[in-house]
Amino acid sequence: MKLPKFILPVVVIIGVVLFQSLFIVQEINQAIVLQFGNPKRIIIEAGLKFKLPFIQNVVYLDKRVLNLDNPPEEVIASDQKRLIIDAITRFQIIDPLKFYISVGNERVARSRLSTIINSRIRGVLGTQDLATLLSTERAKQMAIIKNDVNEEAKSFGIKIIDVRIKRADLPPANSDAIYKRMQTERQREAKEFRAEGAEIAAKITSTADKDVTVLLANAKKQSEIMKGEGDGQRNKIFADAFGRDAQFFSFYRAMQSYEKALIGGETSVILSPDSEFFKFFGKSLPSKP
C-alpha cells in the first residue's frame, strides 16, 4: 500500500513542532521560559518540560553554590599600612526572575558582584588597623562584609553564602622593607649575644687564671715549707752525725767534695800536694778502739 505524498511532510512538521515544544531542565539548573523576551514561567524542578514552539525560548540558570574569585585588592588600613587582600565569595541564585531582569546573565552578575565586594572590602577593612586584620578579629570583619554585600545582592536575586580572605600579603616594597628590618634586628640580637658570651668567657678565663695563680702560689709555698723542713731534718741528721763522730763526718764531707771537684767536667784546678784539700789522700782512718 502506497502512502499519500503529503504524509511525510506532515510527519516532519509534527516532529519539528515536538522538538521545539520539549526541553529538559537538569538537576543543577533552573529555567526561565521567555516569550518574545518577556518572562512567562519559572521552572525550578528538573525534568522534561513543555513550551510553546517557535514563540517561546528557555534561559537556563545554575542553581548550585557558585564561586567568585575576586582579583587581589590593595587595602590601606587605618594605621596607613598597605595590605593586598585576595578574597573569594560563594553565592547562589535564589530568585531567577529577579536575576534575569536585573543582570541578565552570570557573566554580568559576576562583574557587578566583584565591584560591590571590592568596595565593601576597602570600606570595612580600611577602618581597622593592620594588627586587627592579621588577627582572629578578621573573621568578624568578613562577616560584616558578607552582610553588607548580601543587602546589595538581594536586588540581583542573589544570596551571598560566604566571603573569605584566601590570602593577605604586604605589597612587595613593604615586604622587602620588613624583611630587611627583621634581618637588621636579628643581626643586632646576634651581636648582643656574642658580646654577652665574650664577657662571660672573659670572666671565666679571669677567674680560672686567678685560681691557677693561687693554686701555684699555695703549691710553691707548700713546697718551700716542705723543702725547708727537709733541709732542717737533713741538717739535724748531719749535726747528730757530726756530734757522734766528727772525724768520720769530716771524711764524708771531703769525699763529697772530691766527687764534685774531680769527677767529670773540664775545669782545671792547681793545688799544692800538701793542701788541706788532699789531707785524706794516702791516709786511712784510724780504727776505733
Segment 216-226, tens digit of pLDDT: 888 888 888 88
More confident residue, 283 or 113: 113
Show Cβ contacts of residue 118 under 8 Å, excluding neighbours closer than 6 positions: 70, 71, 73
Q: Residues 78, 21: one domain?
A: no
- Within a domain: residue 269? no
* 137 and 185 both lie in a single domain: no
pLDDT in tens, 49-70: 999 888 999 999 999 999 999 8
SS3 110: helix
CA angle 172, 175, 181 (to 5 degrees): 145
Q: Are residues 149 and 73 in the same domain?
A: yes
Q: Specify the pLDDT at position 80.
A: 79
Question: Measuring CA to CA, which residue among 109, 115, 116, 168 is closest to residue 146?
Answer: 116
Rounded CA Rg of the chain: 57
Looking at residue 288, its pLDDT comes to 47
Same domain as 196, residue 137: no
Q: Are residues 40 and 70 in the same domain?
A: no
| Average pLDDT score over residue span 196-218 | 89
Q: Could you tell me if residue 46 is inside a domain?
A: yes
Same domain, 39 and 71: no
In a domain, 238, yes or no: yes
Looking at residue 250, what is its pLDDT?
72
Residue 40 lies in a domain: yes
Q: Is the pLDDT of residue 95 over 90?
A: yes
In this predicted structure, the answer to whether residue 117 has a pLDDT above a threshold of 70 is: yes
Same domain, 165 and 177: no
Mean pLDDT of the chain: 82
pLDDT value of position 178: 64
Q: Are 158 and 178 in contact (CB under 8 A)?
A: no
pLDDT computed for residue 126 by the predictor? 83
19-48 pLDDT, tens per residue?
788 999 999 999 999 998 899 999 999 999
**Side chain identity at residue 281, one-letter code:** F
Q: Is the pLDDT of residue 252 over 80?
A: no
Q: Is residue 123 part of a domain?
A: yes
**Could you tell me which residue, 170 or 214, shows the higher pLDDT?**
214
Q: How many domains does the chain have?
A: 4
**What's 137's domain CATH number?**
3.30.479.30
93 and 180 in a single domain? The answer is no
Q: State the amino acid at position 55 in one-letter form.
A: I
The verdict on 35 and 50 lying in the same domain is yes
**E-only strand ranges, the chain:** 22-25, 29-35, 38-43, 47-50, 56-62, 66-69, 73-76, 82-93, 158-169
Beta bridge partners of residue 85, listed in sequence order:
73, 168
**Cell 513550551 -> residue:** 51
Query: Are residues 161 and 240 located together in one domain of the fold?
Result: no
State the Cα–Cα distance between residues 281 and 272, nearest whole angstrom.
13
Q: What is the pLDDT of residues 133-153, one digit of tens each?
A: 777 777 888 899 999 999 999
What's residue 289's pLDDT?
Answer: 46
- 37 shares its domain with 70: no
Question: Are residues 126 and 75 part of one domain?
Answer: yes
Task: Note the pLDDT of residue 233.
Answer: 85
- Which residue range forms the structural domain that includes residue 83? 66-170
pLDDT of 92 reads: 95
24, part of any domain: yes
User: Is a pLDDT exceeding 90 seen at residue 157?
Assistant: yes
pLDDT of 260 over the 90 cut:
no
Grid look-up 535564589 returns 94
Evaluate whether residue 271 is within a structural domain.
Answer: no
Q: Is position 98 within any domain?
A: yes
pLDDT at 267 over 70: no
